[in-house]
Amino acid sequence: MNQPRATRLSQPSRGRSGFLAERLPHGSRQRKIVLWVAVPLVVFALFVLVMDKLVMPLVTRQGSEFPLPDFAGQRLAEAKISLEELDLNYEIASEEYSADRPAGTILGQIPGPNNKVKPGRTIKFTISQGMKAVPIPELAGKSVRQAMLELEAVGLKLGEIAWALSDTLPERVVVFSYPAANTEIPLGSHVNLMVMRGRASGFTYMPNVVGLTIDEARKNIEDKALRVGLISYRTDENYLPETVMEQSEPHGAELDVGTEIDLVLSTTE
């Protein structure tokens, strides 16, 4: 009689032995902790590593940074060409008056020169509006002192003073300015005055001699019917030797003919 043969169902299970089965038996609490805690942590760490090393460098163009050129002093039209070549954008952040930069010239930038930037970055520029022009105030009929104050108030300077003679117009007042009143001229420019003297010849006006050599100052003073008085010296390396640093009477002051003007000259000793 044939013996019954064991089926696969009746045979003892095999293949569950090994490192994991030995250390973490099937159904054990330790195995559940590893499967539900450790494995997700490992997967998350791998995900972070891939994002940091592969994905993010592609998104942020890591390694494409380059130093930003210095655009100050360039015309905006010229800078546009360089910006396009570098794949950069720009915007005008502000505009300012400038005495030494023509309109349309770049005065500054953000970020500054040599800062590392990436393609696509927007650079903000400060653009020059050129030199500011101001109108000359109406000075006719005013004293020289008042005219000088009004010129300074609008950012202009007193220039040369010439005299006119008249028997009918008041003495010692401004007849007109040149350039004429309401003419727009660059900020900081000089305005010359024509001043009425009537028939009097006993007064004159003090010229500005600061910054001139002693010979130049002496000529200007004597041309105004004044005389050079006491000359003293002061050490100052910011001036060339024998340069006028101070004058005893202010520029534009009304003085009697023959008044002595004291001067302070520079010396390096």
Report the share of the chain in percent with pLDDT over 70: 77
pLDDT of residue 5: 52
116 plus 176 within the same structural domain: no
pLDDT of residue 135: 94
Lowest mean pLDDT among 60-64, 208-212, 220-224, 257-261: 60-64
219 plus 191 within the same structural domain: no
208 plus 265 within the same structural domain: yes
pLDDT of residue 53: 66
96 plus 40 within the same structural domain: no
pLDDT of residue 9: 45
52 plus 89 within the same structural domain: no
Q: In Å, how far are 8, 11, 14 from 5, measured between CA atoms? A: 10, 10, 18
Residues 41-58: tens digit of each pLDDT: 777 777 777 666 665 555
34 plus 78 within the same structural domain: no
pLDDT of residue 211: 93
Give 139's pLDDT tier (boundaries 50, 70, 90). very high
Looking at the predicted structure, is the pLDDT value of residue 187 above 60?
A: yes
Give 34's pLDDT tier (boundaries 50, 70, 90). low
Lowest mean pLDDT among 5-9, 36-40, 100-104, 242-246: 5-9
What is the chain's mean pLDDT, rounded?
Answer: 82
221 plus 181 within the same structural domain: no
User: Average pLDDT, stretch 196-223?
Assistant: 85
Q: Considering its fold, how many domains does the chain have in total? A: 4
CA distance 21 to 168: 125
142 plus 193 within the same structural domain: yes
Specify the CATH number for the domain of residue 176: 3.30.10.20
* CA dihedral sign of residues 242, 243, 246, 248: positive
Residues 73-103: tens digit of each pLDDT: 899 888 999 899 889 999 999 998 887 888 8
CB-based contacts of 144, cutoff 8 Å, min separation 6:
158, 161, 172, 174, 193, 195, 205, 252, 254
More confident: 65 or 11? 65
User: Average pLDDT, stretch 234-248?
Assistant: 91
Domain annotation covers residue 2: no
pTM score of the predicted model: 0.45
Domain final residue pick, 200, 219, 246: 200
Domain final residue pick, 200, 217, 236: 200
Report the share of the chain in percent with pLDDT over 90: 39
23 plus 49 within the same structural domain: yes
Give 229's pLDDT tier (boundaries 50, 70, 90). very high
Nearest residue to 113 via CA among 72, 70, 80? 70
| Distance in Å from the first CA to the final CA of the chain | 139
256 plus 223 within the same structural domain: yes
Nearest residue to 206 via CA among 229, 190, 222? 222
Q: Domain of residue 88: give its range.
A: 66-128
Domain final residue pick, 200, 215, 239: 200
User: Average pLDDT, stretch 64-79?
Assistant: 89
50 plus 39 within the same structural domain: yes
Looking at the predicted structure, is the pLDDT value of residue 255 above 90?
A: no
